[in-house]
Structure 1
Amino acid sequence: MGSMRWATAISRDTDLDEAVAGCAAELRRELGEGPVSLALIFVTPHHRERYREVPSLVLSHLGADALLGCSGGGVIGGGEEVEGAPAVTLTAARMRNVEVRGFRIGGPGALPDLDGPPDAWEELVGARAAEEPQFVLLADPFSSDPVTLLSGLDYAFPGAAKVGGLASGATSAGEGALFVGEDYYASGTAGLALTGDVAVDTVVAQGCKPVGGVMQITSCQDNVLQELDGRPAFKALEEVYAALDERDRKLAGSALFVGMLMDEFEEEPGPGDFLIRNLIGVDPQNGSLGVGERLQEGMRVQFHLRDAEASAEDLRAVLTGYERAMGPARASGEVSGALLFSCLGRGEGLYGEPGFDTGVLHERLGPVPVGGFFCNGEFGPVGGTSFLHGYTSSFGLFRPRGPREGRQ
């Protein structure tokens, strides 16, 4: 057995005790005898009345050194994606020479100042930058500030992976759940810091295809896009629209986005190079467009469209890019386990079939154990910076560190 082994299981049993016990027993069979370094549990809101019992149930059956999880409107595990039905998924890993530390952060007021020293962020998560930690983050959407959190962690831990998402399955504050260690919380953020012989590769599929050419912002103010290539932004959009075929024109009426190229030196941008943001307003009178992100003059942007076909193409493209970067044999042979944080707007509602994203990952990387849930927002990097996304699938791919990836 190698230095890292993962397993995942799912149960549709409506009795929480039976569901957790069944998943834990399956994981024990998969992992064999020995300690469990990490367990992650995701639970649908059908089990809301018993959220408080979840950590003790998992730890009593599995005895993991570290536990993390949350509530989800849909859950992923055991090769399945379950939406709109009672389900529990449990994922576990045995990892040699890896330390896993859980932490919990209160509301936005608990976050350090972004202008302060990085050691305040190290203290917040119980890890030092010199340890080169990797992070898994779960946050309550009603009582957290994930944008500031991700910015702060990028500042203090610039080389660290940060993947995760916003808990789902709740319609108001206090209805969701976060699990860390032996504890249950209805607010804040819960996370894990992993150090040692572990690398977490990130793949972010934003589900869009580009249309028109790449243009440069020549005038903007905050999130208002005024000019592209020296002409009114709305006129540039009209020109792109005029060149679309009938199908894409129809799609542009409801699923048009703006992609911002994150690497200013990229000569031939492709999938994964753009940060996709909503087009939130159009003013034909002054020729400006509203974009769901702050803009800067000199940025290069490209319009994008999103539908099931575009999303499937993008997912395959970014996973193929990961394979090429790693080397196909190494990618399929070294990735021991994966976490998938997928938007509630994807899944069967987008693709018309269940388990699509999980299936594509298995197509590209083989039968890697995949656990996760459907989120209210997903965390993942684009161009080396961590963002809160929508309509995205963010993957964390876990493997041992390579011989050149040890700490300096």
Structure 2
Amino acid sequence: MRIAVGLSTAPEARQAGAEAAAHALDQLAGETLSLAVLLTSRAYTDEASAVLAGVHQSVRVPALVGCVAQSVVAGRREMENEPSVALWLASGLPAAAETFQLECIRTTTGGLLAGHRFDQAVGDFHLLLSDPYSFPIDVLLEHLNADLPGTVVMGGLVSGMQGPAGSRLFRDREVVASGAVGVRLPGLRGVPIVSQGCRPIGYPYIVTGARGALITELGGRPPSERLREIVTVLPPDQLELLTHGLQIGIVVDEHLAAPGQGDFLIRGILGADPSSGAIEVGEVVEVGTTVQFQVRDAVGADKDLRAALVQASSDLPGRPAGALLFTCNGRGRRMFGVADHDAATIDDLLGGIPLAGFSAAGEIGPIAGRNALHGFTASIALFVE
């Protein structure tokens, strides 16, 4: 298996697609191509078809998926404020890549997910790119976890749109504006890495009162009281982190005696009721669940990413052939204050492997053996030669 990445910043859409494809193809001269992942910045939203046509003008590839995103990653660069097209090419896959498109069909009793049947017999690796407005990714992930354990999904929610109907997703030779696109990679070993951008503060608490996504009690007391207890003993530097937004972490594995950074599913706190002290979070939480308040922390996020990459590198059976990065659009300069943090860190610690990706409005990746939608993470699909 070999992987290459091509990049173009040409202002004209078709030229940008053709250039990115030609640059990637030069690195795989003579190879039989298996899969392409096309990622473009939102400067090309209205000309997404032209970018795709330019790619197909330069390369013949049997399977292609991709999207228009807020920003694009190529190599050790994260192009946050400039037009850019990246093409990730792979050759030598163990079996043919199978692209698909998913749609949610609304019914009187809920909805149906149509377009692809996930194989119950094998735990295949999948890449998935989803429109956050028209596709219920949480429903799909819940179904896979409950009914098809072992199926691995990685990817992200598309962040390049300017509202509903603004998404642009690529599948083979088509551009679609809703649903989700993906690719099944049978027989391929993808190594998932999910690095958190938040760290816990205070103590973990058992949820003793909850109604859906509303938490009414933590350890027998209102959540607002628990938070005040934490805030009164925080040092000044940690108090400052609270101004960047408070999150809640839901422990994924309840068997952990002392959960720490990386053991939580991070969700935002959407609101609070001053009269009752209850909080609303971005996930249904059951009584008996362990949770802990979290803060976004650049230093902790850097340490966590480095530790995850070092651990993955030591566990690999061979040299990494390349990777795809799905990094939160709240990271980058917004979190770290410098450009290219995640991409450059991966490049430094994994030896300059071919890397492409995009900034996502939610990152998809497994944690504790379960597929999940994350926030503020760097989710990396690492592929081994």
Q: Distance in 2 between matches of 1:191 and 1:221?
A: 34
Q: Does 1:141 align with 2:132?
A: yes
What is the alpha-carbon distance in structure 2 between the residues aligned to residue 173 and residue 250 of structure 1? 35
Gaps of 5+ in 1: 115-119, 401-408
How far did 1:164 drift?
A: 1.0
SS of alignment partner, residue 52 of structure 1? helix
Q: Is 1:60 matched with 2:51?
A: no
- Are the aligned partners of 1:8 and 1:77 in contact in 2 as well (CA < 8 Å)? yes
Aligned residue for 1:117?
A: none
CA contact (8 A) 2:32 2:92 kept: no
CA distance in 2, matches of 1:399, 1:159: 19
Give the alignment of 1:35-54 within 5 angstroms. Answer: 35-54=32-51
Counterpart among 258, 264, 273 of residue 248 in structure 2 = 258
User: 1:221-267: per-residue Cα shift (whole Å, max 9, x none)?
Assistant: 22222222333322221111111111211322442111111111112
CA distance in 1, matches of 2:12, 2:313: 40
Structure 2 residue 344 is matched with structure 1 residue 347: no
SS of equivalent residue, structure 2 residue 33: coil
Aligned partner of 1:150 in structure 2 is 141
Segment of structure 1 superposing worse, 83-92 or 342-351: 342-351
1:6 positional shift = 0.9
Contact conserved, 2:210 with 2:285, CA < 8 A, in 1?
A: yes
Q: State the secondary structure of the residue aligned to 1:125.
A: coil
AA at the equivalent of 1:132: G
SS in structure 1 of the partner of residue 61 of structure 2:
coil
Match of 1:90 among 75, 87, 92: 87
Distance 2:144 2:55 in 1: 29
2:20 touches 2:55 (CA, 8 Å); kept in 1?
Answer: no
**1:404 corresponds to:** none
Tell me whether 1:292 sits opposite 2:292 in the alignment: no
- Match in the other structure for 1:308: 298
Stretches of structure 2 that go unaligned for 5 or more consecutive residues are: none
Quote how far apart the aligned CAs of 1:356 are: 0.6
Q: Is the 8 A contact 2:103 2:115 kept in 1?
A: no
Equivalent residue for 1:161? 152
Amino acid at match of 2:17: V
More helix by share: 1
Tell me whether 1:170 sits opposite 2:167 in the alignment: no
Which residue number corresponds to residue 363 of structure 1? 348
Between stretches 50-59 and 99-108, larger displacement belongs to 50-59
Determine the structure 1 residue equivalent to 2:370: 385
Is residue 101–residue 126 contact of structure 1 (8 Å, CA) maintained in 2?
Answer: no
Following superposition, the deviation at residue 82 of structure 1 comes to 0.4
Q: Aligned pairs, how many?
A: 384
Structure 2 Cα separation of the partners of residues 130 and 60 of structure 1: 38
Give the deviation of 1:323 after TM superposition. Answer: 4.0
The answer on 1:132 being equivalent to 2:123 is yes
Q: Distance in 2 between matches of 1:299 and 1:319?
A: 29
Poorly superposed stretches of 4+, deviation over 4 Å: none
Aligned to 1:192: 183
Measure the CA separation in 1 of the matches of 2:348 and 2:201: 27
Whole-angstrom distance in 2 between the partners of 1:26 and 1:50: 21
Q: 1:130 to 1:78 in 2, by over 3 A?
A: same
Q: CA deviation at 1:204?
A: 1.7
1:226 aligns with 2:211: no
1:77-108 C-alpha deviation (Å, 9 max, x unpaired): 13211012111001001124222000112245
Q: Which deviations, in whole Å up to 9, do the C-alpha atoms of 1:143-174 show, x marking residues without a partner? A: 22211122223344321221111222221333
Give a deviation string over 1:2-56, Cα, whole Å, max 9, x none. Answer: xx11111211111223322222222222222121100111112222332123333
Letter in 2 for 1:297: V
Q: Out of 22, 28, 33, which is 1:25 matched to?
A: 22
Distance 1:297 1:140 in 2: 31
Shift of 1:126: 4.8
User: Identical aligned pairs, as a percentage?
Assistant: 33
The 1:282/1:320 distance shift into structure 2, 3 A limit, reads farther
Task: Output the aligned Cα RMSD.
Answer: 2.3
Q: Tell me the TM-score normalised to structure 1 length.
A: 0.87
Give the letter for the 1:283 counterpart: D
Partner amino acid, structure 1, of 2:354? P
